[in-house]
């Protein structure tokens, strides 16, 4: 069984929330590292909320930085779509 990677962040109300790392990647296009994670809460449509940030994997204390451009969001959305399609494809094969 895979071990889940988790970390804690403060939400807008200043409460500590545990988040689960879904994946990290480095973009060849932007030369930045991204972390995609969830706090396992649901939106009004029942979908799991997913967040993404920029981070520097070489820092001892990881700081999550905002994603600033539409281009960066597009890269992340494309990867999420590909992963979702893979997961749905696997479910249909079994």
pLDDT in tens, 36-53: 999 999 999 998 999 999
pTM for the predicted model, two decimal places? 0.81
Query: 17 — alpha (psi -120 to 50), left (phi > 0) or beta?
Result: beta
Rounded Cα distance between 74 and 80, Å, is 10
**Residue 89: φ, ψ to 5°:** -65, -40
Length of the chain: 94
Residue 93 above 80 pLDDT? no
The pLDDT mean for the chain works out to 89
Rounded Cα distance between 34 and 55, Å, is 6
Residue 85 above 90 pLDDT? no
Strands 6-10 and 33-42 come out as: unpaired
pLDDT at 21: 94
Identify the band that residue 4 occupies on the pLDDT scale cut at 50, 70 and 90: confident
Of residues 61 and 21, more confidence is placed in: 21
Rounded Cα distance between 92 and 94, Å, is 6
pLDDT at 83: 87
Q: Domain map of the chain by residue range? A: 6-93
């Amino acid at each position: 069984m895979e071990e889940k990677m988790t970390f804690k962040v403060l939400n807008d109300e200043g409460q500590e929330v545990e988040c689960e790392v879904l994946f990290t990647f480095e973009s060849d296009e932007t030369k930045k590292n991204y972390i995609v994670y969830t706090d396992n809460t649901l939106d009004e449509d029942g979908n799991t909320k997913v967040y993404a940030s920029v981070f520097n994997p070489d820092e001892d204390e990881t700081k999550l930085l905002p994603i600033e451009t539409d281009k960066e969001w597009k890269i992340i959305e494309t990867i999420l779509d590909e992963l979702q399609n893979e997961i749905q494809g696997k479910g249909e094969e079994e």
